């Protein structure tokens, strides 16, 4: 399956554990033809992809950021996300952060509380 409009997607909180939703999203994003940039401070690779240790280490543009970390972590990411300038940020279930979403929206970044897996499965990604 390939995406109608392939995107470059950063997965914040990417996991090498196949049972984690962030891992499932990484795999499904690739299956749908998107370029995936996993982000995790302690991992070097996931599914053969190089992992960025933080948002500031991502080189090049990113269309979408999909969040798999809770507010205790994501609240400190506002400046890095604004500097990255993605078109949108998806807050997956459990990762919702209204205060961060408000800051990002003010900076012109679209935010949505949604499940990346559901968006992909339904063709709404």
Question: Residues 23-40: pLDDT tens digits?
Answer: 999 999 999 999 999 999
Please check the confidence at residue 3 and state whether its pLDDT lies above 90: no
- Domains of the chain, first to last: 8-121 (3.40.50.720)
Q: By percentage, how much of the chain surpasses pLDDT 70?
A: 98
- Alpha-carbon gap, residue 43 to 111, rounded angstroms: 27
pTM: 0.96
Torsion of CA 22, 23, 28, 34, to 10 degrees: 80
Question: Residues 46-105: pLDDT tens digits?
Answer: 999 999 999 999 999 999 999 999 999 999 999 999 999 999 999 999 999 999 999 999
Please check the confidence at residue 4 and state whether its pLDDT lies above 90: no
Judge residue 12's burial from the number of C-beta atoms within 10 Å of its C-beta, 0-12 exposed, 13-18 middle, 19 or more buried.
buried
Please check the confidence at residue 115 and state whether its pLDDT lies above 90: yes
Q: Give the model's pLDDT for residue 52.
A: 98
């Amino acid at each position: 399956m390939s995406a109608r409009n392939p995107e470059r997607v950063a997965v914040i909180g990417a996991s090498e554990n196949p049972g984690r939703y962030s891992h499932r999203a990484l795999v499904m994003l690739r299956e749908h033809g998107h370029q995936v940039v996993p982000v995790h401070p302690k991992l070097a690779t996931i599914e053969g992809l190089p992992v960025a240790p933080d948002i500031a280490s991502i080189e090049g543009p990113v269309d979408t950021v999909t969040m798999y970390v809770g507010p205790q972590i994501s609240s400190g990411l506002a400046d890095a996300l604004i500097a990255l300038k993605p078109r949108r940020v998806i807050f997956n279930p459990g990762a919702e952060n209204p205060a961060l979403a408000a800051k990002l929206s003010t900076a012109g970044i679209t935010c949505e509380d949604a499940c990346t897996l559901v968006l992909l499965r339904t063709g709404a990604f």
